């Protein structure tokens, strides 16, 4: 199940504790595989909680803000296309790749190498607080890396393996 939530501030990278708590509660109490957070006009941190994907802010995929000033430091002209691989049996996240794009004259175009690097660095810095990393792949996509929790075994103990 995917839950899409309009939450949080429009600008900035802070993830309030009540937002994190709400996302965790959704994962704990509902059969949620992905929480798709939107409201921010730029990409924000990503968390993997109990092997479920929490996108705290996906940014805008297309918008009509071109030419509106005041928030250039957040690069709302940069967008991401998210490709989540979910295990159909367990509903766990297996992999996440993101394709960096730029919004130019109300069209999506490939982002430059410098813009892709900026997105990677910014998302990696924000996502590290949640125990994951964002890396550049050879195909110029961004990939999420995290320690994947395995399902509990018969002893009730969970183990972790590097993805």
d(CA 145, CA 142): 10
State pTM to two decimals.
0.84
Taking CA atoms, 39 is separated from 6, 16, 89, 145, in Å, by 5, 14, 31, 25
Instruction: Give me the tens of pLDDT residue by residue for the chain, a chain 163 residues long.
Output: 899 988 877 777 789 999 999 999 999 999 899 999 887 877 899 999 999 999 999 887 666 666 666 766 667 888 899 999 999 999 999 999 999 999 888 888 999 999 999 999 999 999 999 999 999 999 999 999 998 766 544 333 333 333 3
d(CA 59, CA 11): 10
Q: Residue 72, Cβ neighbours under 10 Å: how many?
A: 9
Domains of the chain, by residue range, sit at: 2-148
d(CA 21, CA 50): 13
């Amino acid at each position: 199940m995917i839950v899409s939530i309009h939450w949080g501030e429009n600008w900035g990278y802070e993830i309030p504790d009540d937002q994190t708590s709400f996302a965790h509660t959704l994962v704990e109490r509902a059969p949620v595989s992905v929480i798709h957070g939107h409201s921010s006009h730029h990409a924000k941190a990503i968390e993997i909680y109990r092997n479920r994907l929490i996108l705290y802010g996906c940014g805008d995929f297309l918008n009509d803000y071109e030419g509106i000033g005041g928030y250039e430091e957040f690069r709302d002209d940069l967008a991401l296309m998210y490709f989540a691989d979910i295990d159909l049996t367990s509903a766990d996240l297996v992999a996440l790749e993101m394709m960096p794009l730029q919004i130019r004259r109300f069209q999506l175009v490939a982002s430059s190498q410098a813009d892709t690097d900026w997105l990677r660095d910014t998302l990696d810095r924000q996502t590290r607080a949640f125990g994951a990393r964002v890396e550049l792949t050879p195909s110029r996509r961004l990939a999420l890396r995290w320690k994947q929790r395995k399902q509990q075994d018969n002893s009730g103990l969970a183990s972790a393996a590097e993805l």
